[in-house]
Amino acid sequence: MNNHRSLLLGIGLIAGLVFASFAVLYLNGYFSPQGSRVSWQSEIPQFATGLTASDGKAFVLDIHGGIGAYDAANGNHIWGGSVGGYFAAGIVVGSGRVCGGTGYATVGGLDEATGQSLWRFSAPQDTGKLAPESISIVDGRVVATGRWGMGSSLVVHSAKDGQLLWENSPYTVGNITNELNWSVKGFLLGGVPFEGNSIYASNSNSSGTYIFKLDTDNGNTLWRANASRVGSVLAIYKEQVIIQSDNVIFSLNDTSGSSLWSFDAGTSTYAPTAIYDDLLLFAASDGNIYALHLSDGKLAWKAPFDSANLLSIANADNRLTLLPIQIDPDSGRAFWSYGVTTVTRPADKLQTNYTGYMTSFDLQTGKITWTHRIEGSDVAPSGWAVNKNTIFLTQGNDLSTFDKSTGSLFDVQHFDHYVLPPVAADSTVFVAGDLHLTAYT
């Protein structure tokens, strides 16, 4: 009996040590890749569908529409609120508000300091989904977009009180309207065509196509410029409006609309782009990364990146994925990742396979410093972030970390159910996966 009791006691002690060791490893490095560490980890009550960070806080949106605010320094829960709706998706912070989209095609606004619900408005739906396509906060205005069939629509509300300011809908035959005070024919440019109370749009008449700047407070046209093409606003930079249209990137004076410069890459250019100092960085379908001087549109450098000719197989079936260009001023480098998800149908079964690359290049010369191949997954990466010496990349249910200096793989953490794209803020990377929010420093 004594031997049996001793055996049970020994097993219990071993189990306790193993459990304690696992707990210590989990908190102090087991899931901490080389080059970073877990600063803190907090439990979240529901599976997360959105994550963002701002003003010293991390905010998590869950599938039930609940939003939790956590102290970015220690993970302490500050407040909990709700935007009121199932299948919630999309969370943004700005102008003292935390906004989230819901499956009822609404957007809810909470007070950033307290989590108190302040307002809610109806928003455009996205095709195949119930939540809005995107939500953003620009200069005190909440912008919600949706796409249904071949058309898209957009509504803009005040972040302060949720009041409708103006909207652009294909169902009003291209009207930009305040509904009560003014209506102007036109279609918003793509990208981020907002600057305070002004917006950039296009229309055409018997003389041709033109771009115009509109004052949304009163519906007045501030300027109008003839244009052979329209596209997406890449940036509003030092009194310039930078616009991308297929293979051409051009600049207009923000005050008068006069043409400043134009650059023709001779091939389709890709978004997203990035700005560093006086440089505009973008990739193109010819397999080069370009850097333009924003002051005059002249080419600073271009560098080849697609040595494997992946771009040549991208089509409607083989989907091309482009991650945002990441700028790291400390090292003087930029990082980019792209790849193609190929589709095969062996024995009438759909199979997908992702092949891609991460690339590091010098910001001043474009010289590539390293390239890392990404493969072995059936899905494309969902997002990435660069922090200190580590690159964080999410793909499927995995969080992978890489050495920023060499591109070498540090570690892979697998999540049982899901992991959201990482969010970087104030030298910290936040990751929401399964039922935990983790901060890496």
How high is the pLDDT of residue 33?
A: 64
Using one digit for the tens of pLDDT, what is the confidence trace for 131-165? 677 899 989 999 988 765 545 688 899 999 999 99
Q: Per the domain annotation, does 381 fall within a domain?
A: no
How high is the pLDDT of residue 25?
A: 38
Q: Per the domain annotation, does 9 fall within a domain?
A: yes
Please determine, for residue 373, whether its predicted confidence score (pLDDT) is greater than 60: yes
Using one digit for the tens of pLDDT, what is the confidence trace for 250-294? 999 999 999 999 999 999 999 878 999 999 999 999 999 999 999
Using one digit for the tens of pLDDT, what is the confidence trace for 47-66? 999 999 999 999 999 999 99
Please determine, for residue 349, whether its predicted confidence score (pLDDT) is greater than 90: no
Residue found by looking up tokens 């080069």 in the block? 288
Using one digit for the tens of pLDDT, what is the confidence trace for 5-49? 443 334 343 334 333 333 333 444 335 666 668 999 999 999 999
Q: Per the domain annotation, does 325 fall within a domain?
A: no
C-alpha distances (whole Å) from 93 to each of 56, 59, 315, 350, 366 are 12, 9, 36, 39, 34
State the average pLDDT over residues 193-208: 89
Q: Per the domain annotation, does 18 fall within a domain?
A: yes
Q: Quote the domain boundaries for residue 17.
A: 1-30
Q: Per the domain annotation, does 22 fall within a domain?
A: yes
Q: Per the domain annotation, does 140 fall within a domain?
A: no
How high is the pLDDT of residue 292?
A: 97
Lowest-pLDDT choice from 41-45, 85-89, 336-340, 417-421: 85-89
Q: 123 by DSSP, 3-state: which?
A: coil
CB-based burial label for 83 (10 Å; 0-12, 13-18, 19+): buried
Lowest-pLDDT choice from 76-80, 118-122, 146-150, 158-162: 146-150
Q: Give me the number of domains the chain comprises.
A: 1
How high is the pLDDT of residue 50?
A: 95
Q: 441 by DSSP, 3-state: which?
A: coil
Phi, psi of 163 (to 5 degrees): -70, 140
Q: Per the domain annotation, does 322 fall within a domain?
A: no
